[in-house]
Structure 1
Amino acid sequence: MTEHNENMEMDNTITLVDENGEEIEFEVIDMIQVDEEEYAILLPKTKDGVGEEAIILKVGIDDEGEEILYEIEDDDEWEMVANIWQEGLEESEDTQN
C-alpha cells in the first residue's frame, strides 16, 4: 500500500491506493500506540462486509503536517505491533467473558 493522507478521524472508513493505482476501501478497526508510535489496524472492505485479514500501517506526519499511513518496513517492528495488538484482543475477550 502506498501512503495516504486522509483524516482517519472523520469515520472508520479510509481509501488507500495500492502499488497498481487501485483504490481499496478499509475499515479502521483499531488504533494502537507502541513505544510512542501510532499504528492503524485495517480490514479491507468487501462486497460482503469486511475481509478477514487485517493489515497494520504506521501513522506518520507528512511535510505539510497531514496524517499519513505507510507500511512498516522492519519485520521485527511489524511482528512486535501485531503481537501487542493480538494480546490486547485476547485481554478484551477475557474481560467480556
Structure 2
Amino acid sequence: MEDMTDLIVLTDDEGNEVEVEVVTRLEIEDVEYFIVSPVESDEEEPVFTALKVVYDEEGNEFFETVDDDVEIAMIEEAYSVIFDEDGLN
C-alpha cells in the first residue's frame, strides 16, 4: 500500500529546516490554509500549526504562520465542521 501522507519541508526563523506532515488543507473565504504537524517532535501530544498561503508582489507562494486569535478560531471551527461531517471526530 502506498503512503499518501503529504510531507513538506519548512524553514523556521532561525534557518533550520523542519519536516512537517500536512494534516489537512482548508479554504476559508478564498484563503487557503494548511494544518501541519512536525514529523519529529519532543512533545508527548501532537503539535499542530496553522499556515496561511500568501503571495508576494511577484506572485510567489509562501506560508505565513497564523497568529491572529480570531483567524485561528475561524480555522478551528472550519476544521471541526469538516471532520464532524466526515465522521472522523
> TM-score with structure 1 length normalisation?
0.71
Q: What residue number does 2:77 align with?
A: 83
Letter in 2 for 1:69: F
Residue 27 (structure 1) aligns with: 21
Alpha-carbon deviations, 1:35-70, whole Å to 9, x = none? Answer: 1111011111128xxx72221111111223222110
What SS does the aligned partner of 2:87 have?
A: helix
Distance 1:57 1:71 in 2: 5
CA contact (8 A) 1:40 1:57 kept: yes
Contact 2:26 2:79 in 1 (8 A): yes
Partner of 1:36: 30
Q: Structure 2-normalised TM-score?
A: 0.76
Distance 1:67 1:20 in 2: 20
- Cα shift at 1:74: 1.8
Question: What is the alpha-carbon distance in structure 1 between the residues aligned to residue 68 and residue 46 of structure 2?
Answer: 23
Q: Counterparts of 1:87 and 1:66 in 2: how far apart (Å)?
A: 31
Whether the aligned pair in 2 keeps the contact of 1:56 and 1:82 (CA below 8 Å) is: no
